[in-house]
Amino acid sequence: MQRDLDKLKKWARVNLMRFNKAKCKVLHLGRSNPPYQYRLRDEGIGSSPAEKDLRVLVNEKLDIIHQYALTAQKASCILGCIKSSMASRLREGILPLCSALVRPHIEFCIQLWSPQHKKDVDLLERLQRRPQK
């Protein structure tokens, strides 16, 4: 990996490009993978316990535990904005907005991070039932 970073550094120098080292992080995957200190431009790259890729939060154990809570929080905030900005509380007005604005957040990458624990399934189902009340 360090060899690839060195090649990348050389390519960037030839093409007159610079990397923002502050945006570079190392995520050590696996239990038997010893943490190695990688370098870019003769400076160490910081490690991170979890990173977001394609809006999916992954930690070093490849768990997606926090994804459910983050998704529920974002969907709940959007739902709260819909309810506070609507003059009418009629179901016919709120449900189409929820389908258009809240549902995509709940269904985004569901195939990848499909909830397997009952508490996570219940959390997402509660969010889907909330606009119907």
57 φ/ψ angles, rounded to the nearest 5 degrees: -85, 120
Q: Which residue did the predictor score with more confidence, 75 or 66?
A: 75
What pLDDT score was predicted for residue 15? 93
- pLDDT average, residue stretch 42-62: 77
- Residues of the chain with pLDDT > 70: what percent? 88
Q: How many CA atoms lie within 13 A of 69 on its CB side?
A: 4
Residues 42 and 73 in one domain: no
- Does 102 map to a domain? yes
CB 55 within 8 A of CB 74: no
Torsion of the alpha carbons at 76, 82, 87 and 90, rounded to the nearest 10: -70
Say how far apart CA 62 and CA 40 lie, in whole Å.
25
Residues whose CB falls within 8 Å of the CB of residue 31, separated by 6 or more in sequence, listed in order: 61
Count of structural domains, the chain: 2
pTM over cut 0.75: no
Residues 90 and 128 in one domain: yes
pLDDT digits (tens, 9 = 90+) for 5-30: 889 888 988 999 888 878 888 887 77
What pLDDT score was predicted for residue 112? 61
* Separation of first and last alpha carbons in the chain: 53
- Does 33 map to a domain? yes
Q: Which residue did the predictor score with more confidence, 111 or 52?
A: 52
Give Dmax over CA atoms of the chain in angstroms: 62
Mode of pairing for the β-strands spanning 50-53 and 43-44: unpaired
What pLDDT score was predicted for residue 87? 80
- Does 111 map to a domain? yes
Residues 9 and 40 in one domain: yes
Say how far apart CA 16 and CA 131 lie, in whole Å.
53
pLDDT digits (tens, 9 = 90+) for 81-113: 888 888 877 777 788 888 888 888 777 756 666
Say how far apart CA 130 and CA 58 lie, in whole Å.
28
